[in-house]
Amino acid sequence: MDFSSLKGSELGKLVLSSGLLHSSWNKISELRSSRAHQVQTPGLGIKIFQETKYTFVVFVAPSINATCPLNSASTLLSGAQDQNPFHFLCSEKISSFSLHTPAFQLFVSAYKNNLLHLKSKLLHLLESNKHVIITGAALGGSVASLFTLWLLEKVEPRLKRPLCITFGSPLLGDASLQQILENSLRNSCFLHVAYASQTPINTDFKPFGTFLICFDSECICIEDPEAVMELLGGASAVDQIDYGRVLDRLDRTVMEDSRLMIDDVITRMEERAEKKKLRYDQLKKLNDIKISMIYIEWYKKKSKMSRVGYYDRFKTHLASSASPFDVDIEKRKTEVNDYWISLVEEVEKKPQSEKSVLKTRSLFSGNNYRRMVEPLDIAEYYYNGGRKYRTSGRSRHYDMLEKWFREGNPKEPLRGKETDLSELLTFDSCFWSEVEEALISINELKKTQEGEREVLLRKLVRFEEYVWERISKREVSPEIFLEKSSFMKWWKEYKDVVKVFGSSSPSELTKFMNDRKYESYGQAC
């Protein structure tokens, strides 16, 4: 079974009933007693236990009392690969995080000499479909967690993921690391066994993974980090806890039948779980969003029938009373925007190495949304008096969707001369903002003195070149040539500008428009 596919409560029940917790603790106790480990590093003990079904990797470390007071320092790590062995955890929004210094120092001390070899060996075991359990207690558990995070970077999605089990270990990372892992598949690979009143806590560090929190006669298995912080009491003498005895007091009936009646904690957990459910249900909601996209697409087709285009129809709707259908489209635009803004924010929080999992599933949907809906946002932006949309008004989520689509090397729709472009969405979703800026330039040109016209004329020439490049590449929708469109309004006014200020040799766009070739643009030959 792949441990990473289990929910927190299921994972707790599984390991409690399977004997994994007892086996892990017994091996930790054995290594602590003998210190006859296979790989010896000052301060850190490591031993591999091969069994028929499982391979256990055990880490032991010096006493927390001696090396790790509760006010231990933290080490800040950034995205630089040469300075941060965990650089792959950094996301686009979170470029740095802090780790518990004693644990990080122990990890680094064994990093090049012993852990590289151990990593290679475990990856080979995982390739052969073996279950790998990485475990440790107290500070040894913290190093085990770091090693697991480091190992997971190279574990391919098709393989079983290792399970890291710790006992009474201090919290390992700050709020930034918690946020990164909360949005990561890696979070499900950690089970932390903690005695409620005897596990050291420091408010500068935050929990991640699943916690099996033990009390005198009962336990609770939770993933909610805030509830974990509320339930852990904290103490420094954790190395002296015999988790073998703690586990002996727990049986399956505790997990299956008893409930820890801490009403305020449970209530807050449920509230946070509901918010988290809404946040992580984005991909499921994508199917509902597609319905709204269908309505917007139908709005586009109806507008085309009126020879106006959906961009200009929406702009007209904002300026005057419109039909209920127009009002409904405005609501649907808001709905799909909220969905994609939220989804992009979640993707940006993910570690760099995991973003592609989400992007692949929604890459084309996101690109279609951007090209379909952003023009409506542009219409609203300029209706409200905005200027320079591309640099000053564009929402970040559009920038990211466009960036991810380009990085994915997608196949664009065929658009050769033999292809009908009637359903094509203009590739540059900011096209209409360029049209609006060109219209503004023409209006300003009418009011300026002769010495100030040169800058505006250069802007108009650049826009003309921009449009012609996209027409030549067949990257614009034929809708821009509808008689009531803002683009055609610009062209009619620009013709007069060309007559007065243009050169004697007409541009390619001027010839294309004057010869009315735009009337057949997008038609299959």
User: pLDDT tens, 167-199?
Assistant: 999 899 999 999 888 877 788 889 999 988 777
Residue range 363-374: mean pLDDT, rounded: 91
Please state, in angstroms and rounded to a whole number, the distance separating the CA atoms of residues 209 and 219: 16
pLDDT at 9: 47
pTM reported for the whole predicted model: 0.65
In this predicted structure, the answer to whether residue 38 has a pLDDT above a threshold of 60 is no
Q: How far apart are CA 200 and CA 52, in angstroms?
A: 35
Kindly state the DSSP code that residue 162 receives in the 8-state scheme: P
Kindly report the CATH number that applies to the domain delimited by 3-276: 3.40.50.1820
Token duo for residue 190: 């950690």
pLDDT of residue 257: 40
Contact 494, 500 (CB under 8 A): no
Dihedral sign (CA 75, 80, 81, 86): positive
Mean pLDDT check: name the lowest of 176-180, 211-215, 330-334: 211-215
- State the pLDDT at residue 1: 43
CB 143 within 8 A of CB 104: no
Task: Look at residue 70 and tell me whether its pLDDT is greater than 80.
Answer: no
Determine the Cα–Cα distance for residues 141 and 194; give it in Å rounded to an integer. Answer: 11
Give the model's confidence band at 412: pLDDT under 50 very low, under 70 low, under 90 confident, else very high: confident
The alpha carbon dihedral of 333, 491, 382, 463 has a sign of positive
pLDDT at 401 over 90: yes
Query: Apex CA 40: angle with CA 39 and CA 42, to 5°?
Result: 150
Domain map (residue ranges) of the chain: 3-276, 281-399, 412-524
CA distance 511 to 524: 21
Listing DSSP states for 214-262 in one string gives E-SS-EEEE--HHHHHHH----S-GGG--HHHHHHT--HHHHHH-----
Q: Which two tokens stand for residue 396?
A: 């970040």
- In which order are the strands placed within the sheet that holds 54-60? 39-41, 44-50, 54-60, 131-137, 163-167, 190-195, 210-214, 219-222
Q: The tokens of 427 are what?
A: 């590739």
CA distances from 212 to 171, 197, 216, 323, 444 (A): 14, 13, 13, 57, 68
The 10s digit of each residue's pLDDT in 132-162 is 999 999 899 999 999 999 999 888 877 888 9
DSSP single-letter state for residue 170: P
**H helix runs in 19-115, sequence order:** 20-34, 64-67, 101-110
283, amino acid identity: L
